[in-house]
Amino acid sequence: MEMNKLIAVVGVSENPDKTGFKIFTDLLKAGFKAAAVGIRGGTVAGKTVYKSLKDLPVKPDMILTVVPPAGTDKTVDDAIDLGIKEVWMQPGSQSETAVQKAKAAGMKVTESGCFMLIHGIW
């Protein structure tokens, strides 16, 4: 994974006990470029949490989903509309519907394994 790629973490919460918060802040600490998306908005680590992918000021290179499967379905729909080419579904966020839609749209899809573990961040 190139460090200069922008990763949109979908499912970021202001609650430090939530996985989305931990993934987003740990990506930043590890030197990754990351943008936060969470339905409630707010700020985390001094960064704006945007309420949807479509609200981001810059199109990300990849999305990392940390939401329930139904949220992943919606996220993939938005990603397809925006022309995003890669999605990584964290364990528990996978949706067969989202996987099939993403693949049909030509997206690179990773649906197994934790991004953080595979990239040596955790």
The pLDDT tens digits of the residues spanning 77-92 come to: 999 999 999 999 999 9
Q: Which residues contact 109 (CB under 8 A, 6 or more apart)?
A: 86, 87, 89, 99, 102, 103
Quickly list H helices, 3-89: 19-29, 69-82
Amino acid of residue 91: P
- Look at the chain and report how many structural domains it folds into: 1
pTM for this model (two decimals): 0.96
Q: Is-contact 108 83, C-beta < 8 A?
A: no
Instruction: Give the domain CATH number at 10.
Output: 3.40.50.720
For strands 47-50 and 43-44, give the pairing.
Answer: antiparallel
User: pLDDT digits over 18-56, tens only?
Assistant: 999 999 999 999 999 999 999 999 999 999 999 999 999
Question: What tokens does 44 get?
Answer: 């985390």
Examine residue 18 and state whether it is found in any structural domain, yes or no. yes
